[in-house]
Structure 1
Amino acid sequence: MSRQLHLLLATARPRRSLGLDVLAPSTTTLRVLPTDLDLYLHVNNGTYLQMMDVARSNYIADLGGFPRLNEKRWYPVVAASTMTYRRSLRLGDRVEISTRVVGWDERVVYLEQVFSRRGERCARGVVAGRFLTRGSGERVPAPEVVAHLAGSELASPEIPDDVLRWARAVDVAHRGA
């Protein structure tokens, strides 16, 4: 529940915009709380996803993106995600989550979110994000969203092979990709 409140605050009262470039990483620092733990006293796998939600909201805030998205009535949703875990996070650990866009196709924007503790990689999440229009639920093409957030049209960087293979396997990639 505490991470849901954290997400609510990150979305309703976002941190001040840093004018981040769309392709630059955004860093969110969190502390592992008692409510983040499972019976084995390490961070529950579902909590990683909630932490990633908070970090993605901070990424949008760092872009100055909330007002831009609201003017178009667009909002982000997760189309798919995958996680790889290397090291457990435990109570009190200070964790940094680096969120960056690794590319986009006609349908979705692909983000990588890396969890680190004291410079050591602990987990990696990959997210396929889609944007919808409030009210109608109409899908917004990813290049249109990126251009609006960036202030100009951009070409997608080459999507990493592992991300592209995963996107095809879970059927979120643009079918022409």
Structure 2
Amino acid sequence: MYPFIRMTKEMIKHRNAPPLPLLGTHVSQHICWPWDIDMWMELNNGRTLTLYDLARIPLAQRTGLVKVLRDNRWGLTMAGASVRYRARVRAFQRIETHSRAVCWDERFLYLEQAMFDRKGTCCNHILYRSAVTGKGGIIPPSAVLAAMGLKETCPPMPEWVAAWIAADALRPWPPMQDAMQGTPAQDTLA
């Protein structure tokens, strides 16, 4: 079940936080509770994404995006993600999450988030492809920025973000069509 109470707590906690610029970093603190862990007694990989959600929505609130979404009856969705896990997060461990927008293109906004333990070790990092949606589909970031009253130009796209976008474009869609048609899949890793 989605942690609505925790999300409400985060929104209330950060409601009076100073506004952030579009590319500003939101920092939040979280605890890995027993209901966040898996059978190996560490933060479940799916729950990691939920904790990132708890940090990303206050980021959107502080940049003014949430107000624009409500005013225009737009939604916010994730259109892709790439996670790198490097250190375990155990039950009752405190973590600090850093969240920020990195850049955008004609359709998507790219966000990055990272969780750090108390020693400053990065436990995991995620790159998201996010989209603002309306009745007609995806709202271009340029229109979203205009609705926010911003005239910012996109910073140069980091090479690692561009490489992820290019690699993801090579991914077949819909997936596993060869397996569904009875043809054995080719091992492309060999």
TM-score normalised over the length of structure 1: 0.86
1:137: how far off?
A: 4.8
Question: Structure 1, residues 108-143: CA drift from partner, whole Å, max 9, x if none?
Answer: 00001011011221110000000101xx25210012
* Structure 1: unaligned runs, 5 residues or longer: 173-177
The runs of 5 or more residues in structure 2 that have no matched partner are 171-190
Aligned partner of 1:144 in structure 2 is 143
Alpha-carbon distance, 1:171 to partner: 3.0
SS in 2 for 1:78: strand
Determine helix, strand or coil for the equivalent of 2:131.
strand
Residue 35 and residue 109 in structure 1: after superposition, are their counterparts in 2 closer, same or farther (change >3 A)? same
Identity %: 28
Choose between structure 1 and 2 for higher RCO, CA contacts under 8 A separated by at least 6 residues.
1
Question: In the superposition, relative to structure 1, how do residues 84 and 4 fare at CA in structure 2: closer, same or farther (>3 Å)?
Answer: farther
Matches within 5 A, 1:28-47: 28-47=28-47
CA RMSD, 1 decimal = 2.0
What is the one-letter code of the residue matched to 1:99? S
Question: How many angstroms apart in 2 are the aligned matches of 1:64 and 1:3?
Answer: 23
Alignment partners' CA distance in 1, 2:128 and 2:154 = 16
Q: List per-residue Cα deviations over 1:54-77 (Å, max 9, x = no partner).
A: 111010111233222211111110
Aligned to 1:175: none
Q: Which runs of 4+ in 1 moved over 2 A?
A: 1-11, 146-149
Residue identity matched to 1:55: A
